[in-house]
Amino acid sequence: MQRAAKKAYRLDLASLHAVCEANYARLLRLFPDYQTRNLCEFRLGEARVRIEVLERSRYTTIFRLFQARQDEQWLGSLKVELRAYHDAGMLEVGTFQSHRRVEGRYAYPNDQMHQQDEKHQQNHFLAEWFSHCLENGHSDVQLPTAGD
């Protein structure tokens, strides 16, 4: 009985771009005034989320996203660096937790134990996390009511 040849992994660039474009739109909903403010904070259940601007240039902005919980010692925290490309309307994960620059694809297996589509998975995780924040995040800022 012959084994079927394993198909080589192919990066689905169109899918990755679609995720990055959607993440850009989600970031703008979470932090619409990033051009005039350097920090956005909100609650997500028992966690605190902080999105801060690290660097601005004409066509790109680099953000750091941090989520911490009171029981962080057990669960850990989320640390992600993001790069927004304003001319393309895209946002991609630059670093995830302690991993620096992720390649578009990896040979498998590899010494770092990355999946073949690690970059796509990290950006897809960010998409799901942003959606969760948009549905469940709460600001501590009290907005004025119509009678104020």
Residue 4 lies in a domain: no
| 18: enclosing H helix or E strand | helix 13-30
Residue 3 lies in a domain: no
Q: Give residue-wise pLDDT tens across range 6-65.
A: 666 666 789 989 999 999 999 999 999 999 999 999 998 888 999 999 999 999 999 999
60's tokens: 């790109």
Kindly give, in sequence order, each residue whose CB lies less than 8 Å from that of residue 107, ignoring residues fewer than 6 positions away.
116
Residue 89 lies in a domain: yes
pTM (predicted TM-score): 0.79
| Total domains present in the chain | 1
Residue, of 83 and 147, whose pLDDT is higher: 83
pLDDT at res. 120: 82
Residue 140 lies in a domain: no
Residue 29 amino acid letter: R
Domain that holds residue 71: 13-135
Contact 64, 79 (CB under 8 A): yes
Residue 87 lies in a domain: yes
For 73, list phi and psi in degrees, rounded to 5: -55, -35
Residue 145 lies in a domain: no
Residue 102 lies in a domain: yes
Residue, of 109 and 17, whose pLDDT is higher: 17
Alpha-carbon distance of 95 to 76, in angstroms, equals 16
Residue, of 45 and 4, whose pLDDT is higher: 45
Residue 80 lies in a domain: yes
Q: Where are the beta strands (DSSP E) in the chain?
A: 39-44, 47-56, 60-68, 78-85, 90-96, 137-138
